Amino acid sequence: MPTMPEGTEHLTASLHELRRDNERLQGQVHQLRSEHQKLAVQVAHLARLYSASCRLHEPEERPLLAEIIGEIIKDLIGAEEFAIFELEPGAPVLSLLGCLGVDPEPLRRVSVAEGLIGRVARTGTRWVAETAPTREAEPSACLPLKSDGRVHGVVAIFRLLPHKPGFTPADRALFELLETQAGRALHVVRATG
């Protein structure tokens, strides 16, 4: 039986050890790539939030503000049907500022004493459906637009884009942005306009 040259056993053991180290390092590289991708998504999300926040404070007129809020709802949240309301000063009524994909007529004026949209205006508390609405006219989410604890308007999201099954954590961050920043912008536009 041929004998192994001296030191070969040591080389074989070293080779096995190097292979194990290589596999471990490849696993770490894979994990780091995955973490990098997650961080890139988070950075992109934060950049969208920052950009949306800045845009909300640009307009000086209600129609332009409603358009910007609508773009955020449509492009960043992915809604295809929504309505934006403003609380009329001194009246318990919401008036329609803008909408997409819904019939505006029944939404022109909404009493804060009635329905889900009115309840969100009264309480200042966000409402998000746990499942898709069963009736077409029911919202999937209602967001109060507030500043300094006072409600100035409401966003009602009725339907998301077909490829989007529900709201994500990123959407919920956008909800918070809309509630506070759009609420503040609406208050400022109302005070200056």
Q: Where are the domains of the chain?
A: 57-192
Q: What is the pTM of this model?
A: 0.77
Question: What confidence tens digit (pLDDT) does each residue in 11-31 have?
Answer: 888 888 889 988 998 888 888
In CATH terms, the fold of domain 57-192 is Beta-Lactamase (3.30.450)
User: What is the DSSP-derived secondary structure letter of residue 47?
Assistant: H
- Which helix or strand (DSSP H or E) is residue 27 part of? helix 8-56
**Helix, strand, coil % over all residues of the chain, rounded to 5:** 50, 20, 25
111-139 confidence digits (pLDDT tens): 999 999 999 999 999 999 887 655 567 89
Using DSSP, how many helices (H) and how many strands (E) does the chain show? 5, 6
Nearest-angstrom CA–CA distance, 145 and 85? 9
